[in-house]
Amino acid sequence: MEQTINSNAGAAEERYSRLWRENCAVLMPPSPNKDQRSRLRFYIDWLSERGLTWYQPDLKAYRDYLLYERWRVDKRGQRKPATLSEATVLAHLATIRSRYNALLTRSNEARDRLFELANPEDSESEQQALVNEFFLRIANDVHPAAAPVKLIDKQDIADSEHLRLKPYQVSALVQAPGISTLRGLRDTALMTLMVCSGIRAAEAAALQVDDLRQRLGGELSLRVREGKGGKQRLIPYGPLDWCLMYVDAWLREADIAGGRVFRGIRRGGKSVRPAGIGAWTVNDIMNAYPISIDGALCLVKPHDLRRTYARNAYDFGMDLERIRQNLGHTSLQTTQTYIGELDGRDRHPPNMFSPPHDPHSLALLTGAAIG
């Protein structure tokens, strides 16, 4: 019985591997950028896990999976929700549609593979009709109307959705791990470097030791080897180079001389794993250190540190263009969203008008004394 179960499991794994290789061979372009590689890899995994081939694109089901059903397993082996925002889902679907459009209009590979599915005993015209039917169905399935995503244009976003910490809140956050343990030192170094440079979680996870001290016009800078869109950039530290004290202390205690800066820590917390951490681990690390905001414990996400860098740099007088370049944005409009709209305290109106009646008359009107 056990042998039968193992045999069935092995056969299922082999089918999955074969299907995944086929889907990847068709859908992954020869030289994808970082975003294409990540988004298409998610989609290929999803297709293959469901036993679907590349010519069965159910983008409506994939949209719902990303919005409502996606999950991941954390380092403790626990399943956690990993759903994506509407805007991020739109970006994923756009990348997938772009790849299918390229296959349908500028590549013979897809057509050749579909001809292989036809019955060789059929006539050439019958085989051609089958391939044309496949092409039409694929085009219909990947059309934007087949899997729409509704975006709500929000003038105002609640503080709980996008945190932008004040300097005293940043201090509270980076003090939370402590620096007396190896894990605490790593987490402190990670968060201070992120908030002092505005880098993304994936960029922090990918940092190499020699990225920490580069020069831009003579200024000590942090190098991001491959940011969003496959762009490399340098971020001057300026007076925030104090964050390197924590990073250097972590590297020294962890005995890291080269390679990835931030790495996993073995059970017991006394030694470091050779492999670097991933972006999801950065998120898990930050989830371990909620801070009190307005009397409530709040989880600070990695991207909140990016917004915090942008908003505080702006509040302290840094112009939008310099912030844009440091964050690696293509447009100033994107940078403005990170800085955020003026909050409630900044937007409350000045005392422009006064009540036309004296306090005594108002007290009679309201039935309450006015101090």
Domain ranges of the chain: 2-146, 167-347
Where does residue 235 fall: left (phi above 0), alpha (psi -120 to 50 degrees), or beta otherwise? beta
**10 Å Cβ neighbour count for 45?**
14
CB 114 within 8 A of CB 175: no
Q: What is the pLDDT of residue 269?
A: 86
CB 82 within 8 A of CB 72: yes
Q: Which residue has the higher pLDDT, 9 or 36?
A: 36
Residues 310-324, mean pLDDT to the nearest whole number: 90
Q: What is the pLDDT of residue 170?
A: 93
Residue 208 DSSP class = B
Q: What is the pLDDT of residue 337?
A: 84
Per-residue tokens: 331: 């447009």
Per-residue tokens: 219: 């200024």
The alpha-helical segments, DSSP class H, found in the chain are 2-27, 34-49, 59-64, 86-106, 109-115, 124-142, 167-175, 182-197, 201-205, 243-254, 279-287, 302-315, 320-327, 332-339, 344-347, 359-366
Per-residue tokens: 38: 């990540």
Name every residue whose Cβ is closer than 8 Å to that of residue 178 and which is 6 or more positions away in sequence.
184, 188
Q: Which residue has the higher pLDDT, 266 or 10?
A: 266
Which residues are catalytically annotated? 200, 228, 303, 306, 329, 338
Of the given ranges (141-155, 244-258, 262-276), which has the lowest mean pLDDT? 141-155
CB 22 within 8 A of CB 54: yes
* Distance in angstroms (rounded) separating the CA atoms of residues 195 and 6: 49
Residues 109-121, mean pLDDT to the nearest whole number: 84
Q: How far apart are the first and last CA of the chain?
A: 84
Q: What is the CA radius of gyration of the chain?
A: 27
Residues 238-244, mean pLDDT to the nearest whole number: 93
For residue 315, pLDDT over 50 is answered with: yes
* Distance in angstroms (rounded) separating the CA atoms of residues 235 and 243: 13
pLDDT digits (tens, 9 = 90+) for 210-235: 999 999 999 999 999 988 878 899 99
175 backbone dihedrals φ, ψ, rounded to 5°: -85, -15
Q: What is the pLDDT of residue 33?
A: 86
370: confidence class by pLDDT, cuts 50, 70, 90: very low
Q: What is the pLDDT of residue 106?
A: 82
Of the given ranges (22-26, 127-131, 209-213), which has the lowest mean pLDDT? 127-131
Distances in whole angstroms, Cα of residue 190 to Cα of each of 45, 66, 243? 30, 28, 9
218 backbone dihedrals φ, ψ, rounded to 5°: 85, -5
294: confidence class by pLDDT, cuts 50, 70, 90: confident
* Distance in angstroms (rounded) separating the CA atoms of residues 177 and 163: 20
Residue 357 DSSP class = S
CATH class of the domain comprising 167-347: mainly alpha
Of residues 321, 297, 301, the one with CA closest to residue 310: 321
Per-residue tokens: 250: 């972590």
Per-residue tokens: 34: 């970082």
Of the given ranges (50-64, 177-191, 228-242, 348-362), which has the lowest mean pLDDT? 348-362
Average pLDDT of the chain? 86
Where does residue 111 fall: left (phi above 0), alpha (psi -120 to 50 degrees), or beta otherwise? alpha
* Distance in angstroms (rounded) separating the CA atoms of residues 304 and 3: 50
